[in-house]
Structure 1
């Protein structure tokens, strides 16, 4: 593997496809850009989305902000992507469709920070001569693909205007923003002006799980992080996350994490 052929560029201005025939592109539009143009077709409203673009596509990103990074372009040679380390990942099967569809992944809220960290580590490794750096690069790429393949992300194609997918993504953003205030499906359904039943139907249709499981998953993620990486007391964490009492927080942790908060913190 020649890791020197991996290139990472920031989206800070207009970018036009230049890749070679043996090079594919992972495009993460982190913040809103003016438009993404693929084969003369223009797409808007694509913030927080990842696209996999094959070498046969002509594409261009229009970006008005020349000073702030609105995402990243990662150029990946096919020789790297064909490495056996990726063979069991579902994302490896769908990343480059042969029927003209362009894969699009709306990242689950909160995942952006992980993707950002992985890209920063990749860029750092590519520029070094560290021993075993190619193994580390493959491991990071695999982690990146695993995050892309996560069940909480909404996978579609760029031409998909599915109303249910859009609703579920809006719901997930609300959960990320209001998790310390609302823990019930009904509270989010009210914010979205729909019924609990319809919200559950949409989530199940798009992601194969119920709406409550997404709320609980966000609570588990926030709880784990606070217990492991902050010095706040269990009581403080419980109230910060919107639990009515430390005892209720403890029972939640036992049910979803297998341990009481104090036990998890000692791990």
Structure 2
């Protein structure tokens, strides 16, 4: 039986941001707003947020919101509406989306997309949109799988789990740490490098990351390196030597050793898949 078959037919809905004013869809829906192009802003509970191009907002149903744009001649992104039961489905509930305060934060979570993720974000949302309008067998399971991919990918690229909270200094440190890893991963591979940038000790940085994310600081760095490595190996024509130096490794041999240690296969083997 499909994982969405017991839910209401429009439990997942996706629309493009085309009209001059895009309003909240339904009272109880969670909303993921991906604002691609320049708009006047997004108004949430009568507060206007400007300069929001290339950003993703995760908005709890308790908020009133609307997106304002200059014209209705072209799309400025997508809005993904999700009923509560979708987030509570077994596939997505394991991500602890609510527990990491994506949708129930005291502040409005906004995430700037990292370079290169825009096309992949668009591809996932377009596939969800296409599936919603189809009659394919098991389409609901496929939609949930794509939603899972979307949230997991954003977690790596958009600092989802590290939303800053004024009430939790450790969360703030983790938020800044993940931002720095995203920014300096090509230069710095050691926890001590990031601790120095944050003006704290490596021990305290690791304590913060362990408490907030339940993984080590080194794990965050390794995962980011592996994500960048896989993408470069799969989607670029650069040589393994070029990729290794671009990612900040001292030699192609060390890059291959690192990659095989954490994935079980060599960079050249991944390329042949």
Shared topology, TM-score over 0.5? yes
Distance 1:160 1:73, change over 3 A: farther
| Residues 58-104 of structure 1, C-alpha deviations (whole Å, 9 max, x = no match) | 2233556978866431233556556565455522677665xx95773
State how far apart, in whole Å, the 2-side matches of 1:112 and 1:174 are: 20
2:97 maps to 91
In 1: Cα distance, 2:96 partner to 2:103 partner: 12
1:16 correspondence with 2:23: yes
Aligned counterparts of 1:34 and 1:156: Cα–Cα separation in 2: 24
Task: Provide the rounded CA distance (Å) in 2 between the counterparts of 1:42 and 1:123.
Answer: 28
Q: Which residue of 1 aligns with 2:263?
A: 257
Task: Find the residue that maps to 1:262 and give its secondary structure.
Answer: helix
Contact kept in structure 1, 2:31 and 2:82, CA below 8 Å: yes
CA distance in 1, matches of 2:120, 2:137: 24
Equivalent runs, 1:172-251 vs 2, <5 Å: 172-190=178-196, 192=197, 194-197=199-202, 199-251=205-257
- Conserved? CA contact 1:49–1:105, under 8 Å: yes
2:34 maps to 1:58: no
**Gaps (5+ residues) in structure 2?**
1-7
Q: Distance in 2 between matches of 1:90 and 1:4?
A: 19
Q: Following TM superposition, by how much is the alpha carbon of 1:119 offset from its aligned partner in structure 2, in angstroms?
A: 0.9
Partner of 1:217, secondary structure, is helix
- 2:87, 2:97 within 8 Å by CA — same for their partners in 1? no
Superposed CA RMSD in Å reads 4.2
Q: Which moves more between the two structures, 232-241 or 109-118?
A: 109-118
**Cα distance in 2 between the residues matched to 1:43 and 1:161:** 22
For the 8 Å contact 1:220–1:253, the answer to whether it is kept is: yes
Aligned pair count reads: 261
**What stretches of structure 1 of length at least 5 have no aligned partner?**
none
CA distance in 2, matches of 1:74, 1:200: 35
For 2:130, which of 124, 128, 131 is the aligned residue?
Answer: 124
Please say if 1:154 is aligned against 2:154. no
Segment of structure 1 superposing worse, 3-12 or 245-254: 3-12
Q: Does the 8 A contact of 1:27 with 1:73 survive in 2?
A: yes
Per the alignment, in what secondary structure is the counterpart of residue 209 of structure 1? coil
**Alignment check: 8 A CA contact 1:105 1:155 kept:** no
